Structure 1
Amino acid sequence: MHPSHEPGGRLTALGNQLIEIHLWLREELARLRTGLDSPGGDARPPRALRAHCLAFCAALDRHHTGEDGGAFRVLAEREPALRPVLAELAADHQVVAGILRRVEDLVTGPAGGRDVRAELDGLAALLESHFTYEEKKLVAALNREAGGTVELLVEPPGPPPVST
């Protein structure tokens, strides 16, 4: 499920949109991890799986970059009480970015599927905690901002399908 909102005509509040984006990212990560579970999982991932992995990494990075440069900046100005939460989330984004760089290095290098799977498993655990915390702390504030004209969230593009 990819979020499908027209940028100019918000059909849902921004907090709800954030949840939809997170659901989509969770699903894509689950698809990636499942794709690495094929027999011979220690072999190098096939080209389509590598492409999907790289697209997912780019989408997640774009989502977090958009939050840091858009939603978090605006929320920090409008809701000063959220600044410590926003700082924690931005720090998480840096940790996630490091993992994404390692995943990209693994899928473009000679590493096997088990190495990629191990990084994706760690990423999944971190993202689940991160997304849950972010949703708990920010959804209400983002929903209050839904009437604004500032594009607060960046929807990631869908990665190419994995051929099986």
Structure 2
Amino acid sequence: MTEPETTRLVAWSNELRRVHTRIRAALDVTRRSLRDEVPDQQATRDLLLYCHGFCTALNGHHQGEDRSLFPAIEAAHPQLAPVLRLLRQDHSMISHLLQGLQDAVDRSASPAELERHLDGVGAIMESHFRYEEKQLLAVLEDLELAAEVGEVLGPL
């Protein structure tokens, strides 16, 4: 095996960590925009933008995993099927929570309500990321998957 191929194999675990870090940062920016909001149109537009960007990034990440990463892991490691099933269930739950957040933003919910939505999404997201990293990072060190990072881990 040549050096670049080895680097690419190891990179899937690094890429997953990077994507999780970027999504955590997007949640933080969204929370800060909510806390700093003043009642003017620009602040409301900023919040809409941050929430939309965060929701899109997190959903895109999970869709990429469901479409490309998890099938490749299951093919190489069938014993991980129960883990992958739980992760997919988390994806579904997070998607539902994100829709609730988006609906609250669209109807201009109060900052307190938006904060509750962000807290719920953040708690489940963080639990999911920790479990996913604990269960999959070692597997990703050796996973052979010839695909673009954005296709596999989302558009971040």
TM-score range, shorter chain: 0.7 to 0.9
Q: Could you tell me how far 1:110 is from its partner in structure 2? A: 2.9
Identify the residue that residue 34 of structure 1 maps to in structure 2.
32
Give TM-score scaled by structure 2 length.
0.84
Q: Which portions of structure 1, spanning 4 or more consecutive aligned residues, are displaced by more than 3 angstroms? A: 9-12
Which has the larger helix fraction? 2
- Which of the numbers 111, 125, 128 marks the counterpart of 1:127? 125
Identify the residue that residue 94 of structure 1 maps to in structure 2.
92
Aligned-CA RMSD value: 2.1
Aligned residues: 145
State the distance in 2 between where 1:10 and 1:105 align. Answer: 39
Q: Could you tell me how far 1:40 is from its partner in structure 2? A: 6.0
1:67-78 residue pairs with structure 2 within 5 A?
67-78=65-76
| Residue 150 (structure 1) aligned with residue 133 (structure 2) | no
Identify the residue that residue 56 of structure 1 maps to in structure 2.
54
Give TM-score scaled by structure 1 length.
0.81
Q: Could you tell me how far 1:148 is from its partner in structure 2? A: 3.2
TM-aligned CA distance change 1:39 to 1:64, over 3 Å: closer
Structure 1 unaligned blocks of 5 or more: 1-8, 158-164
Structure 2 unaligned blocks of 5 or more: 1-6
Q: Could you tell me how far 1:57 is from its partner in structure 2? A: 0.2
1:10-29 residue pairs with structure 2 within 5 A?
10=8, 13-29=11-27
User: Percent identity among equivalent residues?
Assistant: 36
